[in-house]
Amino acid sequence: MKKVAIIGAGITGLSAAYYLEDAEIEVLEQSDRPGGKIKTYQRDGYTIELGPESYLARKSIMTELATAIGLGDDIVANQTGQSYIYAKNQLYPMPGGSIMGIPTEIKPFLETRLLSPLGKVRAGMDYFIKPDKMTTDISVGAFFRKRLGNEALENLIEPLLSGIYGADIDRLSLKSTFPNFKEQEETHGSLIKGMRDQKKKAPKKTETKGQFRQFRNGLQSFIDRLAETVTDKGAKIRYNSEVTAVQQSGDGYLVTVNGQETYYDRVIVTVPHTVFSKWFEDAPLRYFKHMETTSVATVVMAFDESQVKNEENGTGFVIARNSDTVITACTWTSKKWTHSTPAGKVLLRAYVGRPGDTVVRDHDDAELVKLARRDLDKMMDINGEPEFTIVTRLMNSMPLYEVGHIDRIHAIQRYMRETYPGLILTGASFEAVGLPDCIAQAKSAAEEINKDNYIA
């Protein structure tokens, strides 16, 4: 049986262990817990996510995996409601019928005060601007500036899209992140027409559930069950095992953990690129040495409901970049996820940290709470101090998929197959950052190893 090392026990590493077959598996994890960026905190009836918050339901692989490991009944959907954008010093409802900020209905778009009349006319020019055939990659910013104009980009599109990737939209690769927008534009001659068509063709909603999923006891419960499942099938998870090197040796690899080398026939690396890039000096992999990241922090605040006046029936807001705030978004967690908060309490979760800024690095926890509170006071009516706060720093946690990213990744994957057979690099620095995408990438790495012609 082949001996396989999986480096990292985040969602990617544990999923790879789940999908591997006929192998002696060791998962090597530097910390003392599974989950990586996923971390749920529970106390006094609260279930609070400190890192990622949920996953997109339409990416069904995560629901399938959760069901397969016996957590199907624990899945919960978010409450829906109006979402908001903070721009020009006030909260505006997101215009009805928009998909990721792209208008698909005329009336709500004409009525919104988020854009000036000129901004609306410019966005409407999307109907008449001829698409360029995408031969090379471009930035998400360049694409939307051309289709809808600067004002729509800054007040509608950028706050929504840049938050997902924690990236500067003018450097973010369109091909690696939202290739569907370009396809719709090219097929229909207009982005708005394309999105309207996509909406028409989408199956009619029969339920009122939101588009995100979570677990009754938080994302950590999914991770814990996954870790249990892979352990039951014989995999060993070795905590406090920091990998410092991986070297080719015969047909396999020597992996150094806490100064000691162990031989494995196959290796799957799922740690962030900031870590594994130190292990390789090969020219094609130098890309990862320069790949930038954004540091973010989540600031959770719990209040009694008497302290917060928030009559909006919504789930939170994102913030236009030209606003003078440190926070980039805020989730009204107790409204969005009713399981997260006991009755009579209000839970807010603000995000801090923009690409290129050093706010998270420069301030201690108490200062970050103060800064977040100062911003929230501009947008909401809150009285008194929170009952408790939790600040979680995720340093260098958002990889920047710069223009050209996905083509480089494909070239690196070809190089790895030729130069390092049986050693697979994967995870959030590669094809997509979302939790279901991490599972999908782990599955394809495991399948590649399952079907290689290993002879004992």
Ligand X SMILES: Cc1cc2nc3c(=O)[nH]c(=O)nc-3n(C[C@H](O)[C@H](O)[C@H](O)COP(=O)(O)OP(=O)(O)OC[C@H]3O[C@@H](n4cnc5c(N)ncnc54)[C@H](O)[C@@H]3O)c2cc1C
| Orientation angle between helical segments 61-68 and 435-450, nearest 10 degrees | 70
State which residue, 123 or 267, has the beta carbon closest to ligand X.
267
Q: Are 313 and 79 in contact (CB under 8 A)?
A: no
- Tell which one of 226, 438, 440, 445 touches ligand X (CB under 6 A): 438
Q: Which of residues 52-71 bind ligand X (CB under 6 A)?
A: 52-55
Which of the stretches 137-145, 260-268, 414-422, 432-440 binds ligand X when contact is defined by CB under 6 A? Answer: 432-440
Q: Are 241 and 28 in contact (CB under 8 A)?
A: yes
State which residue, 37 or 145, has the beta carbon closest to ligand X.
37
Residue 433 is a binding residue for ligand X (CB under 6 A):
yes
Residue 434 is a binding residue for ligand X (CB under 6 A):
yes
State which residue, 122 or 349, has the beta carbon closest to ligand X.
349
Residue 200, number of CB atoms within 10 A of its CB: 8
- Closest by CA to 393, choosing from 434, 427, 433, 362, is 362
* Helix or strand (DSSP H, E) at 164: helix 158-165
Q: From residue 265 to residue 294, what is the string marking binding to ligand X with x (rule CB under 6 A)? A: -----xxx--x-------------------
- Tell which one of 26, 29, 154, 265 touches ligand X (CB under 6 A): 29
- Tell which one of 427, 445, 449, 454 touches ligand X (CB under 6 A): 427
State which residue, 38 or 114, has the beta carbon closest to ligand X.
38
Which of the stretches 48-56, 112-120, 134-142, 285-293 binds ligand X when contact is defined by CB under 6 A? Answer: 48-56
Smallest distance, ligand X to C-beta of residue 354, A = 13
Q: Are 268 and 23 in contact (CB under 8 A)?
A: no
CA distance 47 to 217: 6
The DSSP secondary structure of 46-105, one letter per residue, reads: EEEESS---EETTSTHHHHHHHHTT-GGGEEE----EEEEEETTEEEEPPTT-BTTB---
The DSSP secondary structure of 379-438, one letter per residue, reads: HSEE-S--SEEEEEEEEEEEE--BTTHHHHHHHHHHHHHHHSTTEEE-STTTS--SHHHH
- Closest by CA to 226, choosing from 3, 59, 19, is 19
Q: From residue 92 to residue 121, what is the string marking binding to ligand X with x (rule CB under 6 A)? A: ------------------------------
Residue 435 is a binding residue for ligand X (CB under 6 A):
yes
CA distance 100 to 243: 40
CA distance 10 to 27: 10
Q: Are 278 and 272 in contact (CB under 8 A)?
A: no
Smallest distance, ligand X to C-beta of residue 299, A = 11
Smallest distance, ligand X to C-beta of residue 35, A = 7
Residue 30 is a binding residue for ligand X (CB under 6 A):
yes
State which residue, 148 or 416, has the beta carbon closest to ligand X.
416
- Tell which one of 16, 18, 26, 37 touches ligand X (CB under 6 A): 37
Which of the stretches 31-39, 66-74, 370-378, 411-419 binds ligand X when contact is defined by CB under 6 A? Answer: 31-39
Smallest distance, ligand X to C-beta of residue 202, A = 21
154 DSSP assignment: I
N-terminal to C-terminal alpha carbon distance within the chain: 6
Residue 28 is a binding residue for ligand X (CB under 6 A):
yes
**Collapsed DSSP state (helix, strand, coil) of residue 185:** helix
Q: Which of residues 331-350 bind ligand X (CB under 6 A)?
A: none
- Tell which one of 2, 16, 48, 51 touches ligand X (CB under 6 A): 51
Smallest distance, ligand X to C-beta of residue 433, A = 4
Q: Are 396 and 295 in contact (CB under 8 A)?
A: yes
Q: Which of residues 382-421 bind ligand X (CB under 6 A)?
A: 394, 397-398
State which residue, 27 or 148, has the beta carbon closest to ligand X.
27
Smallest distance, ligand X to C-beta of residue 39, A = 9
Count residues binding ligand X (CB under 6 A).
36
Binding site for ligand X (CB under 6 A): 7-13, 28-31, 36-38, 51-55, 242-243, 270-272, 275, 296, 298, 394, 397-398, 427-428, 433-435, 438
